[in-house]
């Protein structure tokens, strides 16, 4: 089977998605740690629009259209869940 090559743009897109996902996981760990320690995670996490302030939320908003062209159903699901 021939190995598929990806454009520089596609590779950059996936690398940025990986970075945003890692930031989101760090955010989740922060929330869990604060819940266990019964401390406040801070205003950035408690804000009504916290989901839009996180690195993943910012990445998703900037790249939603492209994500839609790749997998529209997953993009909609991600938006609803995030």
Tell me the per-residue pLDDT of 43-66, one tens digit each, with 9 for 90 and over. Answer: 888 888 887 788 888 889 899 999
Residues 6+ apart with CB under 8 A from 63: 13, 16, 17
Other CB atoms within 10 A of residue 43 CB:
9
Q: Residue 2 — pLDDT band, cuts 50, 70, 90?
A: low
3-state secondary structure of 76: helix
Tell me the per-residue pLDDT of 30-43, one tens digit each, with 9 for 90 and over. Answer: 999 999 999 998 88
Residues 54-82: what's their mean pLDDT? 88
pLDDT score for 1: 57
Query: Which of 58, 75, 45 shows the shortest CA–CA distance to 19?
Result: 58
The one-character DSSP state at 2 is: P
Q: Residue 4 — pLDDT band, cuts 50, 70, 90?
A: confident
């Amino acid at each position: 089977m021939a190995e598929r090559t990806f454009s520089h743009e596609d590779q950059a897109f996936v690398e940025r998605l990986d970075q945003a996902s890692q930031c989101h996981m760090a955010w989740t760990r922060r929330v869990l740690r604060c819940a266990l320690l019964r401390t406040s995670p801070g205003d950035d996490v408690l804000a009504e629009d916290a989901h839009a302030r996180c690195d993943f939320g910012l990445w998703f908003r900037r790249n939603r259209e492209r994500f839609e062209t790749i997998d529209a159903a997953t993009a909609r699901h991600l938006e609803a869940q995030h």
